[in-house]
């Protein structure tokens, strides 16, 4: 059974102390309801993707039911930073199995309610907490720095290469009214910012973010019943899981779970895994740290192993290049409200494919397909989803 996104919404990302959890959720939900032209009684089931416990509220689906008058069945999902994509996958399966016809997916996080050390500790639990965090003090900048230094050593990448990822993503973030950081930066600024965990500096790291994103999914029958023309279809999704302990990984040059998830998604979609960029208009990848974006180029097959760094050097992931990547600012500039990130990527796919992105960051749609790559932890969870204008 084909499943479509019939509506999407997005809150402003950032430090949202101006609203409570329910109000923040409603910002994106209302947009999605209005875009789909449906109301609460049309929703058969809803899923809240919310990863952390840094917010004061825990029973968020019930809070949403009360605030938004949405009393359908519900559940909360957590898969670390891949929570949003996992939630979309669960909604897709609910419709495909015949259990529901219309499912609302809400990705939500209000991280700023907790002090930074608490946020850092909770994120640390997305790795092997007792072995790596408790014994060795690894925080997530340090986790990803292990991968970044291995990549630098193997492929002669430089700190400047990582800085260029930040420059690109801030450039596009400046054109996104929902982004946390809406200001361009120079390479000099990126390289002169303070170190967080070598080789990462401040501008290499995604921020702590509040935000919500929402998509409404519907079966093909409901799409026809509602008389909708401007829909985006979920073509395929691949998901794979990595080891909890980094010492069990084969190497630090790839997130193998992401590579395998992409192979699964390509196979389902009938896309050539050797040159998938020939079938895609663009991609949103999980750039929680700048080196992670370059590694994603290779894990997804946009470049051969060790050649991802050449894509950023040659500006091949800008609009007009081989494949535009993170032209919404990515996690780096748009922000990374953990549970909302994967849903935010889906909203971007929806907007891009329908030609509704803001001026200066709308891609020329030729193939009618967009990819999202969402990682939980350091490849502990991996989801690759392909969206399209035509159903599979």
Q: With left for phi above 0 and alpha for psi between -120 and 50, is residue 12 left, alpha or beta? A: beta
Please give the backbone phi and psi of residue 366, each rounded to the nearest 5 degrees, phi first.
-115, -40
Of residues 81, 205, 214, 288, which has the active-site annotation?
A: 81
Distance (Å, whole) CA 318 – CA 293 = 13
* Contact predicate 334/172, CB 8 Å: no
CA distances (Å), origin 223, targets 217, 231, 387: 9, 8, 16
* Contact predicate 257/241, CB 8 Å: yes
Spell out a b/e string for 349-378, using b for 16 or more CB atoms within 10 Å of the CB, else e: bbbbbbeebeeebbbebeebbbbbbbbbbb
Does residue 375 sit in helix, strand or coil?
strand
- DSSP type of residue 204: G
Q: What is the DSSP string of 267-290?
A: HHHT--SSSGGGS-SEEE---SBH
- DSSP type of residue 132: I
The bridge status of strand 3-10 relative to strand 210-219 is antiparallel
Beta bridge partners of 283: 325, 371
Which pair of structure tokens corresponds to residue 351?
């907007």
* DSSP run (H or E) holding 25: helix 21-36
Question: Dihedral, CA atoms, 30, 32, 36, 39, nearest 10 degrees?
Answer: -40
* Contact predicate 261/384, CB 8 Å: yes
Which pair of structure tokens corresponds to residue 69?
């008058």
336 part of the active site? yes
Of residues 170, 336, 373, 380, which has the active-site annotation?
A: 336
Active-site residues: which are they? 81, 336
């Amino acid at each position: 059974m084909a499943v479509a996104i019939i509506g999407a919404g997005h809150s402003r990302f950032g430090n949202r102390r101006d609203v409570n959890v329910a109000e923040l959720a409603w910002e994106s939900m209302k947009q999605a309801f209005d875009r789909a032209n449906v109301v609460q009684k049309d929703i058969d089931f809803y899923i809240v993707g919310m990863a952390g416990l840094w917010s004061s509220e825990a029973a968020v689906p019930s809070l949403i039911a009360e605030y938004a008058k949405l009393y359908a069945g519900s559940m909360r999902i957590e898969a670390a930073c891949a929570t949003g994509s996992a939630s979309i996958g669960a909604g897709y399966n609910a419709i495909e199995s015949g259990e529901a016809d219309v499912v609302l997916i809400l990705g939500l996080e209000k991280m700023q309610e907790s002090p930074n050390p608490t946020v850092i500790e909770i994120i640390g639990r997305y790795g092997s907490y007792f072995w790596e965090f408790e014994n060795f003090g690894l925080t997530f900048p340090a986790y990803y720095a292990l991968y970044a230094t291995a990549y630098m050593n193997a492929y002669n990448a430089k700190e400047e290469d990582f800085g260029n990822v930040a420059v690109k993503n801030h450039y596009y973030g400046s054109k996104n009214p929902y982004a946390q950081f809406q200001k361009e930066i120079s390479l000099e600024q990126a390289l002169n910012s303070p170190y967080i965990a070598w080789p990462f500096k401040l501008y290499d790291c995604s921020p702590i973010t509040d935000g919500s994103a929402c998509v409404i999914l519907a079966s093909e029958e409901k799409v026809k019943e509602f008389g909708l023309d401007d829909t985006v279809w979920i073509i395929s999704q691949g998901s794979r899981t990595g080891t909890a302990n980094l010492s069990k990984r084969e190497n630090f040059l790839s997130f193998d779970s992401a590579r395998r998830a992409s192979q699964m998604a390509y196979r389902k979609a009938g896309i050539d895994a050797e040159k998938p960029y020939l079938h895609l208009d663009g991609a949103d990848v999980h750039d929680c740290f700048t080196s992670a974006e370059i590694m994603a180029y290779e894990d997804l097959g946009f470049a051969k192993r060790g050649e991802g760094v050449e894509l950023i050097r040659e500006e091949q992931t800008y609009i007009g290049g081989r494949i535009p990547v993170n032209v919404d600012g990515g996690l780096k500039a748009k922000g990374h409200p953990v549970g909302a990130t994967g849903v935010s990527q889906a909203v971007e796919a929806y907007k891009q494919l329908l030609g509704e992105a803001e001026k200066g960051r709308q891609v020329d749609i030729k193939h009618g397909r967009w990819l999202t790559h969402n990682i939980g932890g350091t490849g502990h969870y991996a989801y690759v989803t392909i969206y399209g204008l035509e159903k599979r």
